[in-house]
Amino acid sequence: MLPTVAIQGFDGSFHQIAARHYFGPETLTAPCATFSEVVRQVASGSTGAGLMAIENSIAGSILPNYTLLRKSGLRVMGEVYLRIRQHLMALPGQQLSDIREVHSHPMALLQCADFLNQYHHWQLVESEDTALSAQRVREQGRPGVAAVAGRLAAELFGLEIVAEDIHAEKKNYTRFLVVARPENALEVEQPNKASLYFHTNHTQGSLARVLVRIADLGINLSKLQSCPKPGSTWHYYFHADLEFDQPEQLQAALRDIAPVTDGLEVLGVYHKGTTH
């Protein structure tokens, strides 16, 4: 039985698209207004898993989510990569020439600015969510009003896409982490990726010693993100994503770097995600 998955956003959002790619098209999702609410839903057992964006190929890391994940007590059980494609959608029968008002999340409007700015008479209206904008276009039934959102939103709310792929940067990808309570994060066979965090004693060469030991074992450090360490001004902990061929490499790395860190915790061991 598939778990209900907590997502940030509403029905038709990119989080829901990513959840369906990871768990399957029949996956039930529980919309949450914030990432903190996603964590609360999963931690409380209200949902079996959660899905949260962690970084984007253009905008970079979503720093608050690294801190949120570290404090949550949850475990990473997988990941999925999604190409972000923004479309202009409106009520059935509407043409591009009919549009006079466009609603969407500020980031989506920014990503599509080159296209939208061609139509100087359009009024751009910011909202809290791309998919919610599409839902409101359908519910309000106002001709001439469009939304910028993903294709799933158009399908769910019966809208027609009047202009597709209107985002300026075509290679726009978001990485999502799948999280669960420790007892629900099942072990996978032949994992090849791990997420962990550690901190060092903030002396010369302390981080380098960790990285050299990882490299010596033939492990690829695919991500290293520094985050402020609470209570220690200008000290940081590091979130690291490691890619390896054999699980034994990871075990050796954990054994070798433990003596040169002041704290080390594995957040999850899983399979590298696929891109959709």
pLDDT at 187: 80
Count of domains observed in the chain: 3
Domain termination residue (choose one: 151, 184, 217) = 184
- Environment class of residue 146 by beta-carbon count within 10 Å: exposed (0-12), middle (13-18) or buried (19+)? buried
Does the predicted TM-score (pTM) go above 0.85?
A: yes
In a domain, 275, yes or no: no
Residues 62 and 178 in one domain: yes
> Do both 107 and 222 map to the same domain?
no
Note whether 76 and 180 are same-domain residues.
yes
Same domain as 201, residue 180: no
Q: Are 213 and 253 in contact (CB under 8 A)?
A: yes
Residues 70, 177, single domain; the answer is: yes
CA 44, 191, 17, 85 dihedral sign is positive
**Residues 141, 97 within the same domain:** yes
Are 79 and 106 contained in the same domain? Answer: no
Q: What is the pLDDT of residue 1?
A: 61
Q: For 154-235, where are the E strands, in sequence order?
A: 160-163, 173-180, 193-199, 220-228
> Does residue 199 sit within a domain?
yes
Domain check: are 79 and 176 in the same one? yes
Residue written as tokens 């009003």? 145
Q: Is 72 helix (H, G, I), strand (E, B) or coil?
A: helix
Instruction: Specify if 75 maps to a domain.
Output: yes
Could you tell me if 124 and 141 lie in one domain? yes
How far apart CA 93 and CA 143 sit, in angstroms, is: 9
Residue 67 lies in a domain: yes
- Ranges of residues in the chain with a pLDDT under 50 are none
* Residue 69 Cα distances to 181, 264, 276, angstroms: 12, 15, 24
Domain of 23, CATH number, reads: 3.40.190.10
Domain membership of residue 276 (yes or no) is no
Is there a domain that residue 266 lies in?
A: yes
Q: Where does residue 271 rank: exposed (0-12), middle (13-18), buried (19+ CB within 10 A)?
A: middle
**Structural domain containing residue 48:** 5-84+172-184
Same domain, 13 and 44: yes
pLDDT at 266: 96
Report d(CA 238, CA 69) in Å as an integer: 13
Same domain for 31 and 138, yes or no, is no
Answer yes or no: do 217 and 239 share one domain: yes
Q: What CATH number is associated with residue 206? A: 3.30.70.260
Pick the closest to residue 28 from 53, 54, 48, 42 (CA basis).
Answer: 48
